[in-house]
Amino acid sequence: MQNVIRTNLVFKDYNPNQKLLLPPSLEELIDPNHPVRVVNQVVDNLNLQPILAKYEGGGCPAYHPRMMLKVLVYGYLTNLYSSRKIEQALQESIPFMWLSGMSYPDHNTLNRFRSDRLKGVLKEVFSQLVLLLIDHGHITLTEAYLDGTKIEANANRYTFVWGRRIKTYKDKIKDQLKELWAYAESVAKEELGNQPFEFEQINAENVTQAVEQIDKALKGKEVDIQVKKKLSDVHRKWPEQLDRYEKQEELLGNRSSYSRIDPDSTFMRMKEDHMRNGQLKPGYNWQVSTQDQYILGYTLHQTTNDMSTLIGHMESLKNTLGQLPETLVTDAGYGSEKNYEYLEENNVNGYVQYSHYFNDKKKKWKEDPHLVMNLHYNEEKDCFYCPMGQPMTLVDQRYLEDKEGYKLFKKWYKAQRCDGCPMRGPCHDCKGDRVVQAAPKWSKYKSKVKERLDSELGQYYIRKRRIDVEPVFGMIKNNRKYRRFLLRGLEKVEIEAGLLSMAHNLGKMAS
Ligand code: SF4
């Protein structure tokens, strides 16, 4: 069928090469309520002295740090995290062009500014933003909601180094060395000398020394061909292997693992497990405290355990904001004697749940006479009474040190004559008489916190926590699609967390 073009068609003028007599300014093209204006206005009001102090002066003039910071923050606000993408946006996007004043720093310049100039100083700049939010009445320091999320590091999941594996390898070397030593003793006991080798200290220096001693003792003796071969292998491999293990152990510190590509990252179980195989991935534990969904502070940790991050996070808040929030609300991942003690000493009202808080309220738990929490304790006699009414007497008490060196005071109480007791089945399944453990300080803090959490205000905080801090991670991970750090190393990852936090707060101000 033949195409018929109607004669009455009318279109608006279209000429992409149209010349304008008075070209419009970029600013005119941006909506008055556009978020880029908030970024521009707020960053203009921040004191960038900490960043300026990182410039040495001289040479070719650098791009203005205020412009560079605005561009990066606006990039993070618009889901542009790669320096190449931001470089492209600076040439194509009107808000970016306006923000940069038509400057076009390339991706290397943007990256150098982000990695080097912001290193160690961005948190100070971020805290000014928080103080500004407080000044403008958006938030107060009355309460803070703390939670953490694991974010993947920029490293492959198959680049792991495990502390356990290093220990196994070193144990193997120890066993083989013991065998060689025993052989040398059987062939040349006198030449080997009377000084026994210290097998506990397996390091390159000690092992080399021991092998040299064995070599010396076996010199001129008739030695088994297999032992000769083993000794030649040992000379070639062990010193280099043990040197490597030593360096790896130094990098591990208190951690159980790290990635060879980003040695600051630790292998963790992530919430986002697309393969559903529970595989551990290298990542960082990002802790954030919020109020009304504004971020008050952020810290990065190399541990999977939230409990050990609370004090470090609070200290960071104190250092950057000059004071601690009056009230802290968290979920059950943070309840520990050490944390409760810290909050009490620093006059912070802790609404910090402990692990069994919700179970303690269940009828089934409350009415189970066998649970330790339901055993009657006589303070005067310092003994518990078991469900049969028999006293459980104190059998041991001592301090136990946790991984971070905190000393927990614990007591152990033992029942008498459990054999033949009709309640033995539901009461316990230990061999012999039942032993229960108690931590007096912990119990004291726990009952105080329980009372606080059970109050009307406590229940309000528990409900609010779910809609305060948790949605912040939702926004960053789902709306901003930020699920993996781009930079490597704790200091650089902290910069990214800072830019994300600034972008989040400014985005919220603009909304
Ligand atoms: S089993 Fe032992 S601890 Fe339990 S009720 Fe009987 S006597 Fe008491």
pLDDT per position as a tens digit, 282-297: 999 999 999 999 999 9
Q: Where are the alpha helices (DSSP H) in 286-420?
A: 310-321, 337-345, 357-360, 363-366
Please state the atom number of ligand 1 nearest to the C-alpha of residue 424. Answer: 1
Per-residue model confidence as pLDDT tens digits over 364-384: 888 888 888 889 999 899 999
The pLDDT value given to residue 168: 94
Distance from the alpha carbon of residue 354 to the mean position of ligand 1, in angstroms: 28
Least confident of 91-105, 173-187, 310-324, 467-481: 173-187
Residue with more model confidence, 85 or 372: 85
204-252 per-position pLDDT tens digit = 888 888 888 888 888 888 888 888 888 888 888 988 999 999 999 999 9
At 356 the pLDDT is 87
Q: Are strands 327-330 and 349-352 parallel, antiparallel or unpaired?
A: parallel
Token duo for residue 78: 């618009």
Question: For the chain, what is the mean pLDDT?
Answer: 91
Q: Is the pTM higher than 0.85?
A: yes
Residues 6 or more apart in contact with residue 13 via CB below 8 angstroms? none
Q: Give the closest residue (by CA) to ligand 1 atom 2.
A: 418
**For the chain, the helix, strand and coil percentages under 3-state DSSP, each to the nearest 5:** 50, 15, 35
Domains and CATH numbers, the chain: 26-118 (no CATH), 145-150+266-358+450-501 (3.30.420), 162-257 (no CATH), 362-437 (no CATH)
pLDDT of 195 strictly over 70: no
Q: Are strands 327-330 and 143-152 parallel, antiparallel or unpaired?
A: parallel
Calpha distance 161→316 (Å, rounded): 30
Mean local confidence (pLDDT), 505-509: 95
Residue 1 reports pLDDT greater than 70: no
Q: How many residues does the chain have?
A: 511
Q: How confident is the model at residue 2 (pLDDT cuts 50, 70, 90)?
A: low
Most ligand 1 atoms within 8 A of CB, residue of 421, 431, 436 to mutate: 421
Mutate to test the pocket of ligand 1, among 375, 384, 390 (most ligand atoms within 8 A of CB): 390
32-77 pLDDT tens trace: 999 999 999 999 999 999 999 999 888 889 999 999 999 999 999 9
Where does the pLDDT of residue 196 fall: very low under 50, low under 70, confident under 90, or very high at 90 and above?
A: low
Residues with CB under 6 A from ligand 1: 386-388, 390, 415, 418, 421, 423-424, 427, 434
Q: Which atom of ligand 1 is nearest to the CA of 415?
A: 3
Average pLDDT over residues 168-182: 90
Q: For residue 83, which of 118, 44, 58 has the smallest C-alpha distance? A: 118
Ligand 1 center from residue 360 Cα (angstroms):
22
